[in-house]
Amino acid sequence: MEIPFTYAPTIPATIQKKLDRYSDVLQQLLWRRGIEDVVAAEPFLHPDYETELHDPLLLNDIEPACARIHQAVKDSERVEIFSDYDCDGIPGAVVLHDFFKMINFNNFQNYIPHRHFEGFGLSIEAIDKLAADGVKLVITIDCGTNDIEVVKHATKLGIDVIITDHHEPGETLPVAVAVVNPKLGDYPFPHLCGAGVVYKLVQALISTGSYDIPTGHEKWWLDMVGVATIADMVPLVGENRIFAHYGLTVLRKSRRPGLQKLFAKARINQNYLTEEDVGFTIGPRINAASRMDAPEHAFLMLTATDNGEASAHVDHLEKLNNERKGMVAVMTKELHVRLKELEKIPDVLVLGNPLWRPALVGLVANKLAEEYSRPVFLWGRDGNDVIKGSCRSGGGVSVVRLMETATVAFHEHGGHHMSGGFSVKDDQVFSLGAVLNEAFVTLGSEALVPTAHEVDLSLSLEAVFGEIRSALTILAPFGASNPKPLFAFESVTPREVAVFGKGHEHLKLVFDTTKGPLEAIAFFTTPTSFPREPAAGKACTILAHIEESFFMNRRQTRLRIVDIV
């Protein structure tokens, strides 16, 4: 069955008049993003670091946080930077690490919990280790807002805690020196990622302290803020758009040996780096460290100052990332075998293996949900013998509604309509499939969420080479709340259709146009996963993004296929 698509409404004439300084295409795309006049459009199209960032001193508890850190630096107290292990926490830890190094404060260390054995956030065990090491101040990054009991334990052991985080606060906050979170108090922009919060803290420390830092030097740390802002998928509006925009600018000039070696290894031209490279190259390698091994490897790669050391860390991360890909492939293959043995594929796929790492099951669930077009729940067992899993919607069914209806089967669960996570008690795991499939039947249409693609504009293939490219350049970087525009190319006939990749998982179509050949690419899929299988010489309608590729120093305008109908 074809997945339907609809065209977005055309911009009203009254709004068009207010945006008449821009091209017709840009007017339509701005309006689609809720921008209806020049006053709103200009800061969005031309973000300004100097004038549009909010005062960091507006953040909740920022002043006591700064005062306590200044005191720790002055008295050379032992400080611990405690960060999450992902693409937000690790870059955030690098920012604070670089600040301390810059002011010649060296009585600190970084602690990143092991994903498989320690899990997310502060823990009693970690605090006990830090107390034994003489730590007097812990500064969290991207965690801690809801760790009430652990902070209480730290206080009993004589450790002060400053929390910097962006997660949703509960009704009760930890009794800490400070809880710096943009979702608390009156801060004008609540959507910062964890690294963004730390960067604001560093700005506040510089403005309230007397450190010998060259004016504007902190901008060099925006490479880390940009990586985290893009990879953590926070809304790319307001301050986040500034951080993403300038973060990419700094990434293209970054002097970090680890990043330079990583770009060389991945054959990325640093001068043309985009948000796609953050999402598909930098992010996966940072995450590979915690998914497969110790997260410190990613941190050490980003903070390395020696080329040889940087190369060694990049090589190790590359090895881990390849191992991660291999394990995901093995898990996927095992699941295909198990599914073929079933007489009937259930409405909700629920499968697991106690030998699987929970950190990897979400990647496999993505693949199966796409392939089978239905919700997928996969589970494994972590280093503490807890059954944990991830779920993906498969398009059309809310996994949150399924879990809420089958809540009796879960120990914990959460997420949003398209994806989520859960943990299950041992005595419930083998009935989980039956319970979720019963929930699917019970909910019926209530489980459904809209799946139709909404297309921004219909274009000819020739238009891809025209003014649309400048409109897309000025709208970038794309991400949450600023999605890549989606275009329909109706009744177009490919000259060539080819499947490529080691597992024949990618698809390439080639079209002839009056401007020359145009390639359309689909990654991590096969022709049969589309509602309509394309064929050379046969007309079809393609829904696609337009992108600039710089792979292996070859600049190319091409289409990234979303669907074929």
Q: Is residue 225 part of a domain?
A: no
Mean pLDDT per 10-residue run, the chain (565 residues)? 72 96 95 95 96 97 98 98 96 98 98 91 96 98 96 98 95 97 97 98 97 95 98 95 98 97 93 93 94 94 97 96 94 95 94 95 92 92 93 87 92 87 93 95 80 88 93 95 95 93 83 95 68 86 91 83 89
Sheet holding 79-83, edge to edge: 108-111, 79-83, 137-141, 160-164, 178-180
Where is the domain boundary, 154, 185, 219?
A: 219
Instruction: Say if residue 390 is in the same domain as residue 432.
Output: yes
Q: Is residue 147 part of a domain?
A: yes
User: Hey, how many other C-beta atoms are within 10 angstroms of the C-beta on 443?
Assistant: 17
The span from the first CA to the last CA of the chain, in angstroms, equals: 10
Instruction: Say if residue 458 is in the same domain as residue 499.
Output: yes
**Total tally of structural domains belonging to the chain:** 3
Where is the domain boundary, 399, 418, 447?
A: 447
The CATH number linked to 159 is 3.90.1640.30
Q: Is residue 110 part of a domain?
A: yes
Q: Is residue 371 part of a domain?
A: yes
Contact 492, 540 (CB under 8 A): yes
Q: Is residue 501 part of a domain?
A: yes
Structure pTM?
0.92
Q: Is 456 helix (H, G, I), strand (E, B) or coil?
A: coil
Q: Is 79 helix (H, G, I), strand (E, B) or coil?
A: strand
Where is the domain boundary, 199, 219, 239?
A: 219
Residues 526 and 504: their CA atoms lie apart, in Å, by 7
Residues 476 and 224: their CA atoms lie apart, in Å, by 18
Instruction: Say if residue 118 is in the same domain as residue 83.
Output: yes
User: Hey, how many other C-beta atoms are within 10 angstroms of the C-beta on 551?
Assistant: 11
- Say what the pLDDT of residue 450 is: 66
Q: Is residue 43 part of a domain?
A: no
Q: Is residue 443 part of a domain?
A: yes
Instruction: Say if residue 428 is in the same domain as residue 534.
Output: no
Instruction: Say if residue 69 is in the same domain as residue 101.
Output: yes
Instruction: Say if residue 525 is in the same domain as residue 543.
Output: yes
SS (H, E, C) 357-396: CHHHHHHHHHHHHHHHCCCEEEEEECCCCCEEEEEECCCC
Q: Is residue 235 part of a domain?
A: no
- Say what the pLDDT of residue 2 is: 46
Instruction: Say if residue 505 is in the same domain as residue 384.
Output: no
Instruction: Say if residue 466 is in the same domain as residue 429.
Output: no
Instruction: Say if residue 539 is in the same domain as residue 394.
Output: no
Instruction: Say if residue 436 is in the same domain as residue 465.
Output: no
Contact 209, 175 (CB under 8 A): no
DSSP labels for 518-550? EEEEE-S--GGGSSS---TT--EEEEEEEEEE-
The CATH number linked to 436 is 3.10.310.30
Instruction: Say if residue 428 is in the same domain as residue 499.
Output: no
Find the domain containing 533 and state its range.
5-10+453-564
Instruction: Say if residue 117 is in the same domain as residue 195.
Output: yes
